[in-house]
Structure 1
Amino acid sequence: MKPALRSNNTGIDSSAIELRLEGAELEPFRQAWAAHRRDDDGSRMLLDSARSFAAIELDRLPPFVRQRLDAIPELIALIGDSDWRLDDKARTDLLAALSYFVDPDDLIPDTQPRYGLLDDALVIDIAIRAQHHEWLAWQEFDRFRRDLRARGDFRPLDRQLWMDARRELLEAGMHRRPSPRYDAALSADRFHRERHSYVSGNGGDTAFGVH
């Protein structure tokens, strides 16, 4: 662990300490994360995690810890999202991080002032990095879904339908410009219009038309 210290004219600014962990230094946290893997569906763990998170006074924590623990509500939402349906490996990985988080007697006891949740923050960070693509894809899916809801479209939307729609939008964009950029809000607007057109009887049988 190599803390990078930034100082000013009055001396070292302790609030500006940055933690840089490398390979072997992360191993104890990886092992602790692995030890918390479970075989159950995790429904109780989601409730316990939500309660534990609600009890934290985030503004009293160091920024490094607070920023990573801020991801916990989204992590709970991802694991419990029936429209997304995580595969078993991703679900087990992310549940293990929450299991570690709710354990008060972990590598650094949670009762330690300010830094008792430092190890929890590291394990959350390791787990999300391990499932980085799944994490980013779900966030994009969730934005897409919320954009649809904002347009008054509450019909079912699942992972496969979103992936099909996303692929069609990207393929359509390739015909219009050399470097298409996927935009969740724009895509949700087009998806909503295409699906409405299909249901009204004016569209073809495409991924956008599934209902």
Structure 2
Amino acid sequence: MAFEVKFELTESDLDHFRDVMRKAQSGAAKLSEALILSNAKKISQDIKGSVPEFVSERIQKLETLVAMIEDSEWKIPAEERADVLSALAYFSDPEDLVPDHIPVLGFLDDAIMIELVAEELKDDIEAFEEFCAYRSREEGRSGDAKVTREEWLDSKRRELHSRMRNRRSTRRSGRSSFRSIF
């Protein structure tokens, strides 16, 4: 028998999560990029067990954030790289809101934080996913090789980086209902 529980986070609830994120980010300032990525990957692996669907659905978003940093062809710009690493810093804090060892609920706070981060970095994630899809399509083409792989990737990457910055700038100028955690 399945049992469904739904809840709504109020603005004050979200403020609490934002405060926790800021605390984790300031504490993670002394952590290396490699450690932050390693901790995010560990959470992803740990969550892949028997967890509620709400949690498992968010793991792909966490993995996408890690891939954005590790993809050498994406060449994520420095500001966006810092934002993604800052967001991933939460997963380096061993004392998160709900201890991960608690059955069923242990990763609930992680899933909520992933969702908040994914919403804040939505434009960056969409641009990265479009870049990956473009790269896959172009790799399959066979034709005149007058344009090198690096040339077509660079062209698309520049287009997407620019769009990503423009969208983020628009959202940060007050048009977004979500208050930035950064």
Alignment TM-score, normalising by the size of structure 1: 0.61
Q: CA deviation at 1:51?
A: 3.2
Aligned 1:71-150 pairs, distance under 5 A:
71-150=61-140
Sort the Cα spacing of 1:93 and 1:119 in 2 relative to 1 into closer, same or farther, 3 A.
Answer: farther
Sort the Cα spacing of 1:158 and 1:104 in 2 relative to 1 into closer, same or farther, 3 A.
Answer: farther
**Residue segments in structure 2 that go unaligned for 5+ positions in a row:** 161-182
Give 3-state SS (helix, strand or coil) of 2:91's partner: helix
Question: What letter corresponds to residue 23 of structure 1 in structure 2?
Answer: E
Question: What letter corresponds to residue 117 of structure 1 in structure 2?
Answer: F
**Residue segments in structure 1 that go unaligned for 5+ positions in a row:** 1-9, 167-211
Alignment TM-score, normalising by the size of structure 2: 0.70
Distance 1:132 1:150 in 2: 27
* Root-mean-square deviation over aligned CA pairs: 2.8
Q: Percent of aligned pairs with the same residue? A: 27
Question: What letter corresponds to residue 73 of structure 1 in structure 2?
Answer: E
Q: CA deviation at 1:91?
A: 2.4
Alignment size in residue pairs: 153
Moved more, 126-135 or 38-47: 38-47
Q: 2:9 aligns with which of 21, 24, 37?
A: 21
Higher helix share: 2
Distance 1:158 1:135 in 2: 20
Sort the Cα spacing of 1:51 and 1:157 in 2 relative to 1 into closer, same or farther, 3 A.
Answer: farther
Give 3-state SS (helix, strand or coil) of 1:20's partner: coil
Residue 156 of structure 1 is matched in structure 2 by 150
Give 3-state SS (helix, strand or coil) of 1:36's partner: helix
Higher strand share: 1
Larger radius of gyration: 1
Question: What letter corresponds to residue 132 of structure 2 in structure 1?
Answer: D
